[in-house]
Structure 1
Amino acid sequence: MILRYVIAWIPMVFIGVINGILREVTYGKYLNELRAHQVSTATGVLLLGLYILLVARLWGFESATQALIIGCMWLGLTVGFEFIFGHYIAGQSWSKLLADYNIFAGRLWSIVLLWVAVAPVLFYRLLG
């Protein structure tokens, strides 16, 4: 049962990549990097929310506890992917990767992570 939710996480990677591409080819040309990051956070939360809602409607969650476990699993997969891919494939430094967690500097990546973790519970409750 959990395996299907692991597989359901994979499209989230592509949603994130597509969101980043859209940022770079559209509004990212007109906004400074921080502002583009912040807008991209909002669009990412929206796109991921729509996808997670689709997963919730298709497969549902058995309980709020299961939804939270799945959300936390998606959170772990996302953070793991970000650091492994970001450092070893994209060549970003550890300090650059960690800088995206500095909410006091206007970096909002943590909001995306929080959303990935709690959205399944929220949609479980909304869909009843």
Structure 2
Amino acid sequence: MPISCIAKALLVWVAILLLAITNGIFREAVLLSLFIKSAAFMLSGLLLCLCIFVVTYLTLPWLGRGSPRRYWAVGMFWLVLTLCFEFVLGYIIQGHSWQQLLEPYTFKDGNLWPIVLLVTLASPYLAARAKKWL
């Protein structure tokens, strides 16, 4: 990927990260007071998946047209950034145990985190398909 595409992809990922943080705040402040824990986590996960796809769809023209390989590369870049952020923040900064860090990957209490990660990976490719660029 050209450096300009990497820089743009990084900026889009930062926007997605900010939406994910906002989504987590919304889940804790609103959804958990309205729904049981599993429903709140499922709604939050689905909302985050939708946000990721919409941001990707809207910013794809700015990222530029490319091959399927390029779209998968952007998705993989976002996935790696997300995982690094999760584990650096959780383990090094917050001091969580590995058990605590891996719990969201088990779908416990309706947590859809693995699906969110899959959407993060696939969104550039799927958005390009939705735009009929592929």
Gapped runs of 5+ residues in structure 1? Answer: none
Matching residue of 1:33: 37
Partners of 1:16 and 1:10 in 2: CA distance: 10
1:96 corresponds in structure 2 to: 100
CA distance in 1, matches of 2:18, 2:129: 26
Q: Share of identical aligned residues, percent?
A: 30
Q: Is the 8 A contact 1:45 1:112 kept in 2?
A: yes
Gaps of 5+ in 2: none
2:121 matched to which residue of 1? 117
Amino acid at match of 1:124: A
Alignment correspondent of 1:126: 130
Aligned-pair Cα RMSD in Å? 1.7
Amino acid across the alignment from 1:114 = L
What is the number of residues matched between the two proteins?
128
Say which SS state the counterpart of residue 95 (structure 2) adopts.
coil
Question: Does structure 1 retain, via aligned residues, the 8 Å contact 2:53–2:127?
Answer: no
Following the alignment from structure 1 to structure 2, what is the Cα–Cα distance between the partners of residues 46 and 126?
A: 14
Farther-moved stretch of structure 1 (40-49 vs 3-12): 3-12
**TM-score normalised by L of structure 1:** 0.90
SS in 2 for 1:26: helix
Which residue of 60, 80, 88 corresponds with 2:64?
60
Q: Is 1:71 matched up with 2:75? A: yes
Would the aligned equivalents of 1:63 and 1:124 in 2 still touch at CA under 8 Å?
A: no
